Amino acid sequence: MKTREYIYNAKDLSNKILETVNQIQKFAQDNNFQIKGDFSELKSGIFSNPLESKISQCSKSEKKKINQAIYRFDKKNTIKTSNYLLHILFKDIMKSETRVKILPSEKEVNIQNARKKWKEAQAIAEKLLSEYKVEKGNFYKEQILRKAA
């Protein structure tokens, strides 16, 4: 089991973040997920390492928040944990208008939409079936009983 290691040094933390971002990109690529946005802002800029300069300006609680998000992604690689880390990174740390997000693959989105349509059609079918049963009632039973009598 991994233990939580909080890194407060800006250089070490920026290296850990870049390593984790590479893991996120690999995770998205391996699972055929779509990446919306661009990671270039993390790796280029006025400074030699723009991420390191932004992290050095962060408070200890912000650094702790980043560490926790990295730990969550390391523990369980999911779209949710990766998007949470990317959100913190671009919004809170980089203070950027750029947003990077991991989205499910096109195939998965199509499957979800097809299921949604199926559920709607199923609900309509159930409604029509209940209307049919109300209309039919005991008609055929009564008809058989009348013939037998």
In a domain, 95, yes or no: yes
Residues 100 and 116 in one domain: no
Residues 81 and 123 in one domain: no
Residues 96 and 118 in one domain: no
* More confident call, 79 vs 45: 79
Residues 115 and 144 in one domain: yes
pLDDT of res. 75 = 93
Provide the pLDDT confidence category of residue 5 given band limits of 50, 70 and 90.
Answer: confident
Q: Taking residues 114-134, report their average pLDDT.
A: 95
Domain that holds residue 45: 10-104
Q: Do the beta carbons of residue 114 and residue 75 sit within 8 Å? A: no
Residues 100 and 27 in one domain: yes
In a domain, 83, yes or no: yes
In a domain, 46, yes or no: yes
Average per-residue pLDDT in the chain?
87
Q: What single-letter amino acid sits at 91?
A: K
Residues 132 and 93 in one domain: no
The Cα–Cα gap between 26 and 31 comes to: 9
Q: Taking residues 100-117, report their average pLDDT.
A: 95
> For 77-84, which contacts have Cβ atoms below 8 Å and span 24 or more sequence positions?
77/23, 77/27, 79/33, 79/103, 79/104, 82/24, 82/27, 82/28
pLDDT of res. 66 = 92
pLDDT of res. 47 = 45
In a domain, 122, yes or no: yes
In a domain, 18, yes or no: yes
pLDDT of res. 3 = 65
pLDDT of res. 2 = 61
Quote the number of domains for the chain: 2
In a domain, 1, yes or no: no
Residues 97 and 38 in one domain: yes
* More confident call, 8 vs 119: 119
Residues 87 and 127 in one domain: no
Question: Cβ–Cβ contacts within 10 Å for residue 106, how many?
Answer: 11
Among candidates 24, 28, 34, which has minimal Cα distance to 109?
34
Q: What is the pTM of this model?
A: 0.74
DSSP 69-92: HHHHHHH---HHHHHHHHHIIIII
Q: Percent of the chain beyond pLDDT 70? A: 93
Provide the pLDDT confidence category of residue 46 given band limits of 50, 70 and 90.
Answer: very low
Both tokens of 20, joined, read 């984790």
